[in-house]
A and B are shown apart, each in its own frame.
Chain A
Amino acid sequence: MFSPKVNKIINLIIVYSILVLLVLICLFPVYFVFIGSVNPGESLHSSKIFPNPADWNWGHYKSLFIEHDYLNWYKNTLFIATANMVISTAFGVLSGYAFSKFKFKGKRQGLMAIIILQMFPTIMGMIAIYTLLGAFGLLDTHLGYILVLAAGSVAFNTWIVKGFFDGIPNSLQEAARIDGASNSDILIKIMLPLATPIIAFIAFNSFIGASMDFIMAEVILRSSENWTLAQGLFTLVSGQENNNFTVFAAGAVLISIPLMVLFFVFQRYIVEGLTAGAEKG
């Protein structure tokens, strides 16, 4: 119909208009929340999409810290995420290594249990968790919440670490044993250094998972000084009037920037880790 050259130009136009449209779709919500955070108004109702840069109002960031408990939520979230990362990574690495490199009774059943249990969301046992934490006085405490989060992520971590160690030949371990290395020597001096990339992945994953969680936090942490960011930001916009939209937007920007930086730093590991984990699962 057209000459090859015209065809090529049409193709070029179509491809690039799709690309540009996608950029708009991907960036608009990000722009929207940023511009919301500097909007002159207070509520969603009065916020403009293209306010005059001269009118930009940075006061919402200030009110996060003065009128709301933002700093507290931020600290809580960081503390919970870090503690969960340490616990669930350590437990996951130990058990993943055991399941990969040792033969022992109950190994098959244990693995089965882990795969199956990993599919059940923690929330299905929320009544029991509530009762149990209540009985031990851990309701509305960070310790209780961290334990629940860690228990929810150790199965996945174990599974990923096991997959990684399966790829490391057993001869390495046998050679070290012949040289007289003990079990703990082999683990600490040989295996752990080898596993650094996968440990980085599950640590990152546990950190992000804990800082994103909303549902279990809502069950366990009831008083506002114990809240995480997800809970705090949710209450800012969950009402009908959205009176606090601009403040929410400011809070969202402050948490998104560090997490996005972290994401782009770890990007390569994340894609690889997720793919490997799912293929083996």
Chain B
Amino acid sequence: MSTKSESQLTHEGKSYRKIAAWLSVLFMGLGQIYNKQYIKGALWALFELLVLIFFTNTIARGLWGLFTLGETPQVRERGRVVDPGDHSILLMAEGLLVLLALIAILAIYYVSVKDAYMVGKLREQGQKVMNFKESLRYVWDNGFPYILITPTAVCMILLTVFPLLYTALIAFTNYSSPNYLPPRALVDWVGFEQFARLFTMESWRGTFLGVFSWTIAWAILSTLLVVFAGLFVAVVLSQKVVKYRKFWRNIYIIPWAVPGFVSILIFRNMYNGQFGVINKMLESVGLPAIGWLSDPMWAKVAVLLTNLWLGFPFWMALFTAVLTTISKELYEAAEVDGASVVQQFRKITFPIVMVAAIPLMVFTFAFNFNQLTFIYLMTEGGPVNADYNYAGHTDILLSWIFKMTLDSGQYAISSAVALVVFLIIAGFAYFNLRNTKALKGDV
């Protein structure tokens, strides 16, 4: 390559970097060729050429689809499809994918311009410019972390980021059953209409507020209950009189070891109003049977109790570990000072274990907020609430979204609810991030 002889010359007063950068803006690779990096330049140019030749149409059609969501409705004559028409939802998906690809291409474009600029700068300073082999080696050495994260990044962009963006877009359309279902009908952008319905129409607002407050109540209560039950069991286990601690502990861990969906389904049967074993027991001691899963209030109690059974072992294990780290001398000193057992617990044990517990409690709260599997397997959101749109008494926001989407085809408004949940979670994430050590220090 001729780079070596060239790069040793210094050209005072001539701005290689600007010319190279502008040439690369004009067409990818021109700047590199100007910088005498011929192979690299040719590859960049080839890339842009391929994009222009093969993808211009795709990009144009994708963007058109995203903006219009299709223009030709399906034509049917005597029940037969004459003209299939535009499928709005597929057009939207294609459009969004094209948009993401376009952003990636622009990023690559930016890299190429920047590369031309940097190499031009090197030439101005009279330094050696890398030949193609050296460039490859450089990319391999410095690009290693990028190679490592590529699989994860691709996976997440396609199956996490793309779906979230898509959900956000659908919230601004009228995509719903029965009138706006492609391919039979077109879907349109409607702006904030779904949000307006959600917050102003009586039935929707009532459902939203009702489900929302139960979601919060459920997330808080379920977290507090398991934490304090776990703490209680751990403290009882740590009493001096208890022998064979390991034996007891292993038994109490069993609810955690049973596969979650199995135990939820078992409880669903135990709570069964007519034949459930819990009601049989109540009746055998002379108490009236309770409509566990049919009465709104008792259904909530049943859900919380089941979660308590499932969740306390983890906290017991955690608190048992923390309790063993508290020095015995603290308690001995407290006893000498005449502190009662209750005082010892409040002043010594409780503050210490809570330090360990609070970050995990935040985590559990967020987890329970989204604990759709549990609610759905246990009650399917029921019992039905006649005042609610598509929701029952124990539905949380996520199970409401799930049911609206899967059972009733209310895609647009369920996406609007999802977007609201999205904002709540984002707020939560922000709160969490502020307290994250890992992002402060070494990053």
Report the minimal beta-carbon distance from A143 to chain B, rounded to whole angstroms.
13
* A12 beta carbon closer than 8 Å to chain B: yes
Contacts of A113 in B (CB 8 A): 156
Collect the chain A residues with CB atoms within 8 Å of residue B155's CB: 91, 147, 150-151, 154
A135/B93 contact (C-beta < 8 A), A154-B156, A242-B272, A278-B363 known: yes
- Please name all residues of chain A whose beta carbon is closer than 8 Å to the beta carbon of B167 when the two chains form the complex: 124-125, 127-128
| Nearest CB of A to B320, in Å | 10
- How distant is the Cα of A11 from the Cα of B236 in the complex, in angstroms? 11
- B275 engages A45 (CB within 8 Å): yes
Residues of chain A within 8 A of B438, CB atoms compared: 111, 162-163, 166, 280
Q: Which of B156, B255, B309, B429 has a CB less than 8 Å from the CB of A155? A: B156
Per a CB cutoff under 8 Å, which of A15, A25, A94, A252 touches B265? A252
Q: Assuming the A-B contacts A102-B144, A237-B265, A245-B269, are A132 and B314 also in contact, with contact meaning beta carbons closer than 8 angstroms in the complex?
A: no
Q: B210 within 8 Å of A by Cβ?
A: no
B402, A215: Cβ atoms closer than 8 Å: yes
Which of B141, B265, B405, B422 has its CB near the most chain A CB atoms (within 10 A)?
B265
- Residue B166 is within 8 A (CB to CB) of chain A in the complex: yes
Q: B360 to A121, Cβ gap below 8 A? A: no
Q: Are B433 and A32 in contact (CB under 8 A)?
A: no
- Asked if B370 contacts A121 (CB within 8 A), the reply is yes
Q: Are B274 and A151 in contact (CB under 8 A)?
A: no
A190 within 8 A of B: no
User: Is there an interface contact between B422 and A115, defined as CB atoms closer than 8 Å?
Assistant: no
A213 touches B373 (CB 8 A): yes
Residue of A nearest to B370 (CB): A121
Nearest residue (CB) in B for A134 is B90
- Would you give the shortest CB distance from A120 to chain B, in whole angstroms? 6
User: Which of A63-71, A197-205, A254-262 has 4 or more CB atoms under 8 Å from chain B?
Assistant: A254-262
A61 to B236 CA separation, bound complex (whole angstroms): 40
Residues of B within 8 A of A12 (CB): 241
- Chain A residues with Cβ below 8 Å from B254 are 26-27, 30, 260
B149 touches A124 (CB 8 A): no
Cβ A281 vs Cβ B257 within 8 A: no
- Of the candidate stretches B16-24, B67-75, B245-253, the one touching chain A is B245-253
CB interface residues, A 28-50, toward B, < 8 Å = 29-30, 32-33, 36, 43-45, 47, 49
Those of A102-128 within 8 Å (CB) of chain B: 102, 104, 107-108, 110-117, 119-128
Q: How far is the CA of A238 from the CA of B168 in the complex (A)?
A: 33
Complex Cα spacing A242 to B442, Å:
56
Contact A275 B159 (CB under 8 A): no
B263 at the interface (CB under 8 A from A): yes
B275 in contact with A44 (CB, 8 Å): yes
Q: Across the interface, do A129 and B159 meet the contact criterion of CB distance under 8 Å?
A: yes
> Does A22 count as interface, using CB distance less than 8 angstroms?
yes
Q: Does A211 belong to the interface (CB within 8 Å)? A: yes
Task: Decide yes or no whether A212 CB sits under 8 A from chain B.
Answer: yes
Q: For chain B residues 345-370, which have a beta carbon within 8 Å of chain A?
A: 359-360, 363, 366, 370
**Given A115-B433, A116-B426, A215-B376 in contact, is the A26-B261 Cβ separation under 8 Å?**
no
- How far apart are the CA atoms of A43 and B269 in the complex, in Å? 11
Per-residue CB proximity of B251-283 to A under 8 Å, as 1/0? 111111111111101111110101111001000
* A226 interfacial by beta-carbon distance below 8 Å: no
| Residue from B90, B242, B372 in contact with A121 in the complex, judged by beta carbons closer than 8 Å | B372
CB distance from B392 to the nearest CB of A (A): 15
Which A residues between 228 and 245 are near B, CB-CB below 8 angstroms? 230, 233-234, 237-238, 242, 245
Nearest CB of A to B58, in Å:
14
> Residues of A within 8 Å of B, CB-based: how many?
100
The interface on chain B, measured as residues whose beta carbon lies within 8 A of the other chain's beta carbons, has a size of 96
Among A94, A215, A274, point to the contact of B372 (Cβ < 8 A). A215
Contact indicator A256/B258 (Cβ below 8 Å): yes
Contact assessment for A49 and B277 in the assembled complex, using a CB-CB cutoff below 8 Å: yes
- Indicate whether A117 sits within 8 Å of B156 (C-beta atoms), given known contacts A111-B443, A131-B93: yes
Contact B418–A124 (Cβ < 8 Å): yes
A174 at interface, CB cutoff 8 A: no
Contact of A131 among B89, B360, B437 (CB under 8 A): B89
**Which A residues fall within an 8 A CB radius of B?**
8, 11-12, 15-16, 18-19, 22-23, 25-27, 29-30, 32-33, 36, 43-45, 47, 49, 90-92, 94-95, 97-99, 102, 104, 107-108, 110-117, 119-129, 131-132, 135, 147-148, 150-152, 154-155, 158, 162-163, 166, 183, 208, 211-215, 218-219, 230, 233-234, 237-238, 242, 245, 248-249, 252, 255-256, 259-260, 263-264, 267, 271, 274-275, 278-281
List 20 A–B pairs whose Cβ atoms lie within 8 Å, in order of A's numbering. A19-B248, A26-B255, A32-B266, A36-B269, A45-B274, A90-B151, A91-B155, A110-B153, A119-B428, A120-B422, A128-B165, A147-B159, A163-B438, A166-B442, A211-B259, A213-B373, A215-B402, A249-B266, A256-B258, A271-B321
Closest 9 CB pairs of A and B: A125-B163, A151-B159, A128-B166, A128-B163, A102-B145, A98-B148, A95-B152, A98-B145, A263-B257
